[in-house]
């Protein structure tokens, strides 16, 4: 069962063109929604689909749309294509290989929420996806599928592509809005949530690229049909990015519910050189890791949540038994230290401390107190070190940096200790 990758698999050479999109039923769902459904009816189908956001937080899309205050206009729709969570490359494929599927999803969603101005924010390091979107937008405008009076209904919609410029934090929705407004990409304090006060202080819906790419199918087949796919709480298909020590890394669209072990074997071809899985990250660099003993866990949003982690951005990173876990953790902590926007002291200072301590352990210069130091600093960023983390910061980036620390200290403490030289008594 596939939804998102059907066209690109059947038509590898031209799935990104308007001609192919049209030849495979493209824009018929948008036409149907705009010409024979009310906006409320489209919104009801999306609610009924139980679709949950694919950007990381997994919030039900139909519910989010319902938070828009009824009387304030204009409303904005902002598409989050900032995809920068290490391990994640699924939106890139959707943007490059089926841009019209996304544009059609935007038309449907904009109609449902009565919005006439949408922005697609794509990270600056994605020139090819951005070019494909630019060309697809131009094709759609030329064909009268965007602009004024869509499908003769009087509904207007403009879509603008906005290019980011290298800042992971701009994937966080309120930072993204600041960036789009021409400010530094600092996350805003919530509430107010963007649905109430977002872009230019107007009600704004921010949705992920994959989330919106599902809309044509939902309109065509009905929300109930979407909800019927997969286990409860994890409706629909989902595009997972699989990377690390597997034989066949890649993006794979699956119905949720299979186990991580099955996914890694069936789709990834298993671990390279027949080795064992030492540990894996189930949902991008922000997520706490699982160990090789947890491969039987089903891939669902709720199972993973109960087990103390998250499906997050849908990025599964597999590490085999030869992996130096301190090295892997350092790479992730270094990422967060580099990407911290600096507004909150525990995040700004804490991530740098964690990076420095891991770096010295890696160099063989760790000290016996360093394990406690790592935990103390982590506790200062995310008090109690629980899951989901307790927040003392404006956004979840700071607490994300704690995930690799608790992961290695809970599961591989001996290994970390063994990297710390015994204290040599001063002669």
Partner 1 sequence: MSWTADPRVEQILARYPDKKSAVMPFLYMAMAEHGYLTDEAIREVSELVGMTSVQVSSIATFYSMYKRERVGSYLISVCTSVSCAILDAADVLHAIEDEAGVPAGETGDDGVFTVEHVECIGACGGAPAVQVNYELIEGVKEDKGRELVRWLRDAAPDTVLGDEMQALFGGQRSFEWGPAEGEGATGPVPALDALGTTGGSS
Q: Which does 206 bind (CB under 5 to 8 A by kind): partner 1, ligand SF4, ligand FMN, none?
A: ligand FMN
**The dihedral formed by the CA atoms of 130, 138, 16 and 238, expressed in degrees to the nearest 10:** 60
Q: Name which of residues 377 to 406 contact ligand SF4 (CB under 6 A).
A: 393-395, 397-398
CA 213 to chain centre: 14
Beta-carbon contacts of residue 60 (< 8 Å; ≥ 6 apart): 47, 50, 51, 52, 53
Sequence-distant (6+) residues with CB within 8 A of 370 are 357, 360, 361, 420
84 is an interface residue for ligand FMN by CB under 6 A: yes
From the list ligand SF4, partner 1, ligand FMN, none, pick the one residue 347 interacts with, judged by a Cβ distance below 5 to 8 Å according to partner type.
ligand SF4
207 is an interface residue for ligand FMN by CB under 6 A: yes
Residues 75-114 binding ligand SF4 (CB under 6 A) are none
**Residues 30-69 interacting with ligand FMN (rule: CB under 6 A):** 53-57, 59, 61
Q: What is the maximal distance between C-alpha atoms in the chain?
A: 88
What is the DSSP-derived secondary structure letter of residue 17? Answer: S
In the complex, the smallest distance separating the C-beta of residue 164 from ligand FMN, rounded to whole angstroms, is 9
Q: Does 185 bind ligand SF4 (CB under 6 A)?
A: no
Binding to ligand FMN in span 85-104, by CB under 6 A: 85
What does DSSP say about strands 290-291 and 277-281: parallel, antiparallel, or unpaired? antiparallel
Cα distance between the two ends of the chain? 69
Pairwise CA distance, residues 139 & 146, whole Å: 9
- The piece of 14-22, 79-87, 152-160, 268-276 that touches ligand FMN (CB under 6 A) is 79-87
Q: Which partner in ligand FMN, ligand SF4, partner 1, none is near 80 (CB below 5 to 8 A by kind)?
A: ligand FMN
**83 φ, ψ to 5°?**
5, 95
CB of 353 to ligand FMN, least distance (A): 19
**Residue 226 C-alpha from the chain's centroid:** 20
CB of 401 to ligand FMN, least distance (A): 10
- Show contacts with ligand SF4 in window 121-180 (CB under 6 A): 169
Residues 243 and 234: their CA atoms lie apart, in Å, by 22
Out of 49, 178, 313, 340, name the contact with ligand SF4 by CB under 6 A: 340
Taking CB within 5 to 8 Å according to partner kind, which of partner 1, ligand SF4, ligand FMN, none is near residue 343?
ligand SF4
């Amino acid at each position: 069962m596939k939804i998102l990758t059907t066209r690109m698999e059947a038509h590898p050479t031209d799935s990104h063109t308007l001609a192919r999109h049209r030849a495979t039923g493209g824009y018929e769902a948008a036409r149907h929604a705009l010409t024979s459904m009310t906006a409320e009816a489209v919104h009801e189908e999306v609610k009924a689909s139980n679709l949950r956001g694919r950007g990381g937080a997994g919030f039900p899309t139909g519910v989010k749309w319902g938070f828009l205050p009824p009387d304030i206009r204009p409303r904005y729709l902002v598409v989050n294509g900032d995809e920068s969570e290490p391990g994640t490359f699924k939106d890139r494929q959707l943007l490059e290989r089926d841009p019209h599927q996304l544009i059609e999803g935007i038309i449907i969603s904009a109609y449902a929420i009565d919005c006439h101005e949408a922005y697609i924010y794509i990270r600056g390091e994605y020139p090819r996806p951005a070019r494909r979107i630019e060309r697809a937008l131009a094709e759609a405008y030329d064909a009268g599928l965007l602009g004024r009076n869509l499908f003769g209904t009087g509904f207007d919609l403009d879509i603008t592509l906005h290019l980011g410029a290298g800042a992971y934090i701009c994937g966080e929705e309120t930072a993204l809005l600041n960036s789009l407004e021409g400010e530094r990409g600092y996350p805003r304090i919530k509430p107010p949530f963007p649905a109430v006060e977002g872009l230019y202080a107007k009600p704004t819906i921010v949705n992920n690229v994959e989330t919106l790419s599902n809309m044509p199918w939902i309109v065509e087949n009905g929300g109930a049909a979407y909800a019927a796919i997969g286990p409860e709480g994890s409706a629909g298909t989902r595009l997972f990015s699989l990377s690390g020590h597997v034989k066949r890394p890649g993006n794979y669209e699956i119905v949720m519910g299979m186990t991580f072990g099955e996914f890694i074997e069936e789709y990834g071809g298993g671990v390279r050189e027949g080795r064992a899985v030492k540990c894996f990250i189930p949902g991008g660099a922000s997520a706490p890791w699982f160990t090789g003993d947890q491969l039987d866990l089903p891939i669902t949003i709720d199972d993973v949540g109960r087990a103390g982690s998250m499906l997050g951005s849908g990025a599964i990173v597999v590490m085999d038994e030869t992996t130096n876990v301190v090295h892997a953790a350092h790479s992730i902590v270094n990422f967060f230290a580099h990407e911290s926007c600096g507004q909150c002291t525990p995040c700004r200072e804490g991530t740098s401390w964690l990076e420095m301590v891991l770096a010295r352990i890696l160099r063989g210069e760790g000290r016996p107190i360093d394990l406690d130091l790592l935990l103390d600093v982590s506790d200062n960023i995310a008090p109690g070190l629980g899951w989901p983390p307790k927040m003392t910061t404006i956004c979840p980036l700071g607490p994300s940096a704690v995930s690799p620390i608790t992961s290695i200290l809970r599961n591989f403490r001996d290994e970390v200790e063994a990297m710390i030289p015994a204290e040599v008594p001063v002669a």
